[in-house]
A and B are shown apart, each in its own frame.
Chain A
Amino acid sequence: MILSIKALSVKFKGLIASNNFSMDVEKGSFHSLIGPNGAGKTTVVNALTRVVSSTGTALFEDVDLLKMPAHKIINAGVARTFQNLELFKNLTVMGNLFIGAYHTINYNFFDEIFSTKSYKFEQSKIVQNVTEISEMLDIKRYLNMPVSSLPYGTQKLVEIGRAVISKPKLLILDEPFAGLNDQESEKLKEEILRIKNLYDLTILMIEHDMRIVMSVSDKITVMNFGEKIAEGNPSEIIRDRKVAEAYLGDRSYSRS
C-alpha cells in the first residue's frame, strides 16, 4: 500500500464535494478513479495535493499528506497533472520541465549570482535530465518553443513530462485523455504505460474514457456525489449495478 486515504471530506460553503471518502492505492498499480461529472474526483486529488483543505487522513508511505503545505507534497514523492492544463504559458518547454525538477535543485541564490561550480554542475545535470525526458516523450524539438504555441496534445505531454521529471513515486493524472482524438489517445496511452514501467511508478488516474480505463487499470474506484460507490478490478466494475445506475440512471426511476 503506497497511499491510504481515510475519511476524506471536503466542504465548500455547505456543498459537500467529498464525503467520508476512503481508498487505498497499491504500490506499483494503475488505479483509476471514475464517476460522473461533479462526483468529486478532482476534489479528492486537489485535497491530496493540498490545493483545497480537507479533513481526514491520507497516509503516503507513513506521512500524512493532508498535514503538509502544498509545496512540500512534491518532496514526499507525489506529482500531478491538471484537468485544464496548468502549464507556465509564457515559458518555453525547457522552462516548464525545469520547474518539474525544481525541488531537486540544491544550489542557492548566491550560487546563481556567482555562477559557482555547484551551480554549473547542477544546472547542466538538469538540462541533461530535461533533454532525456523530452527525447523519451518525443518533444525534444519543441524544447525552446513557448509552450503556449504548441498543439493541445503536445501540451499534455509537456505536463506529463513536467510531472515525470520530478521523479515521483505516485503520479496523479487528472483526465489526461480529455480532448484528444483516438490516435492521440492511443499514443498517449502507450507513453503513459511506458513511463510507468520505466520509472516504476504508481499511477492514480481520473478519466472518463471507459475504453482506456478498462484497458489499463489494475483497479478502479467509482465515485458519485462525493462518495465511493464501488471498487474492484475492471471486470467487476463493468458488472456492478450501482455503477451502471450512476452512469445510466436508475432503472426503476426511469420506468416510472
Chain B
Amino acid sequence: MKKYLWFIPFVLVPLPFLGYPFLLSIFVLIGIYTIAAIGMDVLTTWAGQISIGNAAFFAVGAYTSAILVVNFHVPFLIAFLASGLFAMIIGIVVGLPALRVSGFYLAVVTMAFGIAVQQIIGVFQITGGYNGIRNIPVPSFWIFKASPVYQYYIVLFIVFLIFIVLSRISFSKSGLALFAMRDSEIAARAFGVNSLKYKLAAFAASAALTGLAGSLYASAIGFISPSQFDLTLSLDLLAMVIVGGTGSVMGVMIGAAFFVGLPFLLSGYNISITIIQGVALIVILLFLPKGLLQIFKITDLFKKKVI
C-alpha cells in the first residue's frame, strides 16, 4: 500500500485552485502528456527501442476519438477506448520494422512514419484536412459536469491505473523479460524470451498509451489539426522522459510538467521560451544525467529492486 501513498498529494492539488480553471486545465494537460510520455518510457527505457514518431499515435488517438464523438456521437468512454485500440493496432504495424532494424535506423523509420501520418491526416476529408476538427465536446456524464476539475481527476485516475499496472509487471515475468531483452537480446532469447513478441508488445503498449493520451487531449483542448502533431511533439515526448527521469512514472510526470508548465509560466514575459527551454535542457543533462528526479531523490520502488 505504501507505494501508492505518493498519489495523495496529487488528489489534493486542485483544491486551492478551484477558482482558477485555467491553472487546472494546465494540470490536466500535464497529466495528459504524462500518459503519452509514459508510453515513450515503456518503449525506450523498458524495451530499449527508440521511436521519434510517437506523435503519430497521439494524432491517431486524438482523431479517432474526435471523429467518433463529433461525427458519430459515440459516448466519450467508448471513443476513448477505441482510440487506444486503434493506435495499438497501428503501433503493432509500426513495430514490425523494429524486428529487423534497431538504433539509428529504427529512429529514422519511426520518424518517417510520424511525418507520413501527419501528412495523411491533412489529406482526408473526414479528418477536416489541414483545418482540423473544431468544437470537440468536453465529456460529461453522471454527476460529473464538464469542468477542468473533473477532467483532472479522470486523468489522475488513469495515470494512477497505469502506475499500478507498471509497478506490478516490473518485477514479474513480462517486465523482467522486457528489461532482459533490452540489456542482452541474445541472452534473453537463450532463456526463452521471445524477443519478437515482446518488441511488438512494447510498441503496442506504447502506441496504446499515447493514443489514449491523444483522445484525452482532443477533448481537453477542443480543437485539433495536423500541425499540432509534428516532429517537435515526438521529440518533446522523448525529451520529457529524459529530462524528468527514465523508468519511473514520477520522473516522467516531472518531465511533462517541465515541458508543459514552463511555457505557461513564462508566457507573461517577453522572453523566447525556446531559448530558455533549450538552455534548461542542456543544464539538466549536464548536471543531472538521470533527470530532474535526481533532485527529489525519489527512487521508484521497483527501481530499487530490479534496475
Contacts and interface: CB of A to CB of B under 8 A. Distances in A.
A132 B76 CA distance: 52
A98 B186 CA distance: 16
A105 B173 contact: yes
29 contacts: A51-B189, A70-B189, A71-B189, A71-B190, A73-B190, A75-B192, A87-B184, A88-B180, A88-B183, A88-B184, A88-B188, A89-B184, A90-B183, A91-B180, A92-B305, A94-B306, A95-B179, A95-B305, A95-B306, A98-B171, A99-B177, A99-B187, A102-B173, A102-B176, A102-B177, A103-B191, A105-B173, A112-B173, A162-B191
B137 to A, nearest CB: 32
Interface in B156-186: 165, 168-169, 171-177, 179-180, 182-184, 186
B195 interface: yes
Interface of B: 165, 168-169, 171-177, 179-180, 182-184, 186-195, 304-307
A244 to B, nearest CB: 35
Nearest to A123: B172
Interface of A: 49, 51, 69-75, 79-80, 82, 86-92, 94-95, 98-100, 102-103, 105, 107, 109, 112-113, 115, 119, 123, 144, 146, 162, 166
A166 B126 CA distance: 54
Contacts of A98: 171, 176
A98 B306 CA distance: 10
A112 B305 contact: no
B173 A91 contact: no
A80 B187 CA distance: 9
Contacts of A144: 304-305
Contacts of A115: 168
Contacts, number: 103
Contacts of A107: 172-173
Nearest to A100: B191
Contacts of A69: 194
B276 to A, nearest CB: 33
B191 A74 contact: yes
B183 A91 contact: yes
Nearest to B179: A91
Nearest to B197: A71
B184 A86 contact: yes
Nearest to B194: A71
**Most chain A CB atoms below 10 A, which of B173, B179, B190, B305:** B190
Contacts of A100: 191
Given A80-B190, A92-B306, A119-B172, 19 more contacts: A51-B186, A71-B189, A71-B193, A79-B191, A86-B184, A90-B183, A91-B180, A92-B307, A99-B176, A99-B180, A102-B192, A105-B173, A109-B174, A112-B172, A112-B174, A123-B172, A144-B304, A146-B307, A162-B191
